[in-house]
A and B are shown apart, each in its own frame.
Chain A
C-alpha cells in the first residue's frame, strides 16, 4: 500500500522518536536528525503497520529519509 508524505510523517509521530516530526524535512536523513538504528526499528515498524507490508531487512538501510520511504512504498506498489 502506498503512503503519502503526510501518512509517513504520522507513522513517524507514532514511533515517538523525535520531539516533533515537524522539524524533519522530507529530504533530511534520519541519522542527521539524531535518529539511531534502534529508533529506526520503531519507525519501520510503524511504516509497516500503516502500509500493511513487510519490509525486508536488506531494504532498511536505503530508507534514510521521509521522501525515500515514500518513494520506496511507491515502487513496491
Chain B
C-alpha cells in the first residue's frame, strides 16, 4: 500500500525581517510575536521561479534517501503560482530540470492551503490505480510573486518554501481516514486580482475557526477515536493566532498541536509537510492528524499512522 516514506524541504536563504515590516506598516512587534508568529519570512530570489524551489526540494529528497532520479515514476506538484502562466504545467518544467525519464507521469494540482492533504490522496490513488511504486508529491507555492508589500493583511503572513514527499509501497506513514470539503461561496475572500493577492482576513479567520475544528471532530468521530488517541496535530500554519484559536477548541490536547512558524511564516501547502518532516523520525509519535484550510474555500483533514 502506497504511503509516505520521507519528506525533504527547501527554504530560501533570503528573508524579510517581519519586525521591520510591521514597524513600517504601523503594527507593534508584539503583534508579530503573539499573533503572526513569524519573525522572518523566506523569499525566493528574483532569478528563481516556482520550478526551481521544487527542484531544490526534490534533489534534497533524493539525496537524503538514496533514491535515483531514474526510480521516479510519478511527479505531482501542488501550486497556484506556477512558472509563467501555468502553461506548460510546472511539473513538466521540473521534469525537464531534473532530467527525469519519459515514463514519468507528471501533473499539477491547483489548490492552496488544503493542497497537501488533497495531494496525498490524489497521488496515492493515482499510483495504486496505475501500479506505480515510486512517486513524489511537491508543494511549491511562492506567494511572494503575488504579495503587495504595502498590504499588511498579507505581507506579514506569507513566506516561500517548497517540500517534496516521497511515496512508495514501504512507507513510514500510512494514509488513513480523510475528509474533504469546499465552500465556493467564500472564494472571493482569498483571491488574486490583477496579479495581486487580496484577503478578507476576518472572513478567512471565521471560516477556519468554525470549519476546521468541526471537520477535525467529525474525522475523530468517524474513525471512532477520541482526541487523546492522536499523538500529534499538525494544522496548516496560517498564523500563530489561527493555530492557537483552533487548538483552544480541543483543550484536553491543545499542547499536542504543533505551532512552528517563526522562521517560515505561512507557506501555504508547504506548511503541513514542513512540520511533518520534523517529526517523521520521532518513533514516539504514531498517530498524526493533519488539517489544511484556505483558498477556495477548501479544507481537508486526514489521519496518518506509523506503518
Chain A contacts to B: CB under 8 angstroms = 16, 36-38, 41-42, 44-45, 57, 60
Q: Measured between alpha carbons, how far is A38 from B240 in the docked complex, in Å?
A: 11
Our pick among B31, B202, B248 for the contact of A41 (Cβ within 8 Å) is B202
Q: Is the CB of B206 within 8 A of A57?
A: no
Tell whether B205 is near chain A: CB-to-CB under 8 Å.
yes
Q: Is the CB of B245 within 8 A of A42?
A: yes
Q: Is the CB of B31 within 8 A of A45?
A: no
Q: Mark B188-205, 1 if CB is under 8 A from A, else 0.
A: 000000000000111101
Tell whether B35 is near chain A: CB-to-CB under 8 Å.
yes
Our pick among B31, B200, B203, B205 for the contact of A36 (Cβ within 8 Å) is B31
How many residues on B have C-beta within 8 angstroms of the other chain's C-beta atoms? 14
- What chain A residues lie within 8 Å of B205 (beta carbons)? 38, 41, 45
- What chain A residues lie within 8 Å of B31 (beta carbons)? 36, 38
Tell whether B209 is near chain A: CB-to-CB under 8 Å.
yes
Chain B contacts to A: CB under 8 angstroms = 31, 35, 200-203, 205-206, 209-210, 239, 241, 245, 248
Q: Measured between alpha carbons, how far is A37 from B31 in the docked complex, in Å?
A: 10
Q: Is the CB of B210 within 8 A of A45?
A: yes
A60-B35 in contact given A16-B248, A38-B241, A42-B245 (Cβ < 8 Å): no
- What chain A residues lie within 8 Å of B239 (beta carbons)? 38
A45-B206 in contact given A36-B35, A38-B241 (Cβ < 8 Å): yes
- Name the CB-closest residue of A to B36: A38
Secondary structure call for the B interface:
helix
Tell me the smallest distance from the CB of A62 to a CB of chain B, in Å: 14
24 A-B residue pairs with Cβ-Cβ distance under 8 Å, sorted by A, are A16-B248, A36-B35, A37-B201, A38-B31, A38-B35, A38-B201, A38-B205, A38-B239, A38-B241, A41-B201, A41-B205, A41-B206, A41-B209, A42-B209, A42-B245, A44-B202, A45-B205, A45-B206, A45-B209, A45-B210, A57-B200, A57-B202, A57-B203, A60-B202
Given A41-B205, A41-B209, A45-B205, 18 more pairs with CB closer than 8 A: A16-B248, A36-B31, A36-B35, A37-B201, A38-B35, A38-B205, A38-B239, A41-B201, A41-B202, A41-B206, A42-B209, A42-B245, A44-B202, A45-B206, A45-B209, A57-B200, A57-B202, A60-B202
- Name the CB-closest residue of A to B205: A41
- Name the CB-closest residue of A to B240: A38
- What chain B residues lie within 8 Å of A42 (beta carbons)? 209, 245
Q: Measured between alpha carbons, how far is A75 from B205 in the docked complex, in Å?
A: 26
Q: Measured between alpha carbons, how far is A37 from B156 in the docked complex, in Å?
A: 14
- Name the CB-closest residue of A to B242: A38
Tell me the smallest distance from the CB of A63 to a CB of chain B, in Å: 12
Q: Measured between alpha carbons, how far is A36 from B35 in the docked complex, in Å?
A: 9
- What chain A residues lie within 8 Å of B241 (beta carbons)? 38
Tell me the smallest distance from the CB of B22 to a CB of chain A, in Å: 12
Which 10 pairs between the two chains have the least Cβ-Cβ distance? A41-B205, A38-B35, A38-B241, A41-B202, A45-B206, A36-B31, A57-B202, A45-B209, A16-B248, A42-B245
Tell me the smallest distance from the CB of A46 to a CB of chain B, in Å: 10
